[in-house]
Each structure stands twice: as C-alpha cells, then as structure tokens.
Amino acid sequence: MAVNEGAAARVRHAMVDAPGSLGARMRARRWELVEQSFPDLATMSVLDLGGTVESWRRAPVRPKDVTVLNLFEPGESDDASLLPVTGDACRAREALAAAGAPTSYDVVFSNSLLEHVGGHAQRVALAAEVHALAPRFWVQTPYRYFPVEPHWLFPGLQFLPMAARARLAARWPLAHSRPESRSAAMSEVQWTELVGVAELRAYFPGARVHHERVAGVTKSLVAVGGGAS
C-alpha cells in the first residue's frame, strides 16, 4: 500500500487533533460532561487510570489534585497537585502503595483504557480497582459498534478476523502510529478489544451509561458512578 505519510498525518490531524476537528469537539463536550457530573471537582482528589500528566495540563478543568497512574509513561511533574505514578491500573492499589501515593480518592477517572487492558479478566480486575479506590468514577471507552474503529480510523476493523486486522494495522496510513513490524501490528490489535453497553454495565453495575454520539450514532460510552444526575 503506497502512501504519502505526510498527507496521511495531515488527514488524521484534521480529523482528530486539530482545533475544531471532530476529535477536539468531542473532547470539549466530554469535559463539559465531567463538570456536570462532578460540579465540585475543584475540591476533589482524582485518580486517573491510564492517563498522562500532559493531558491534565491541557484540561479545561482542574481538580484539587490529580494522581496519574500509567503502565508506561505517566509523564513528569514538578507540580505538587499533579503526581505521576508508573504502574498497572489493574493492580492500582498495589502500585500506588509501592509509590507512596494515596490509595483513596474522591473520583477515579479513566479515558480510553478499558479496551486496552488485555481481555475480560483484566477488565474485571480494573473495575474492581475503580470501585475500591473511590466512591465516584468516570470510565470512558470507545463503543464496539460504532462503524469506524477509532484507533485506526478504518471502517469495521474491529469486526475483521485477527489476521486481517493485523495486516491492515501494519499498513493503514491513518493509524495513530505505524507499527515497526507485522508482529508488532498483531500485538497492537490483540491489545485492543472494544466493548458494548452490556459489558460496560456488567463491569459497573448501577452506573449511569452516557452515550457520546456523532450524527446520532453512539461513538463512545461513559460509565458514571456517584456523580450528579
């Protein structure tokens, strides 16, 4: 598949990252919903599972303090109210305790992590950590049945056989990043498993499930627990 890498990057930027893009508009609406769900957020301590320090620096909302737990690169911070911790979100309490960080918060926040933790058993473990760490939570994940797979921006990729997904992931120019090899592409698609409403409700029983929509079609789901109605 011959591609112009620069042109593909510009297309993805225009669709996802640029000011005024669909992605930017959805992120703005998502932050508005966070504020509506937790109107006292400025007085709350937040644990972000799977996020980055930089995303909170750019956020239009600022809790009292934020701890960011990420398996690979939470980022760096010299701000006492923004604490990065490296660790596994599915064993969050253990990782936080080992780092000397708090193990109790007002809100657990997780954005686009649930689909990447490695299958049902790991999603159950992640949900258990969310419930144990705070009385309130916000867990967002892309919706399995949206027509365009959001990580690769390829229509219906999530429904293809694994081998076909890996071949496309290795070559599709609109992916967030191009894998270095076919085996790396296979690993990426194996680590990306989108879920539907039934699964999300099973992991977070009693939560309100908010549908983020594009042109009336659900693109992402958010499970909100303990927030304002």
71-80 confidence digits (pLDDT tens)? 999 999 999 9
Residue 162 covered by a domain? no
Residue 28 covered by a domain? yes
Measured CA to CA, the distance from residue 28 to residue 88 in angstroms comes to 28
Residue 126 covered by a domain? yes
- What local confidence, expressed as pLDDT, does residue 229 receive? 66
Q: Please identify every stretch of the chain with a pLDDT value under 70, giving residue numbers as ranges.
A: 1-19, 23, 229
- Contact (CB, 8 A) for 126 and 90: yes
Count of CA atoms in the C-beta half-sphere (13 A) of 198: 1
Q: Which residue has the tokens 């490695």?
A: 118
pLDDT digit string, tens, across residues 96-152: 999 999 999 999 999 999 999 999 999 999 999 999 999 999 999 999 999 999 999
Check which CATH number belongs to the domain holding 105 and give it.
3.40.50.150
Q: Which neighbouring-strand residues pair with 46? A: 66, 107
Residue 151 covered by a domain? no
Range of the domain at 45: 23-146+196-225
Q: Please give, one letter per residue, the 3-state secondary structure of 61-73.
A: CCCCEEEEEECCC
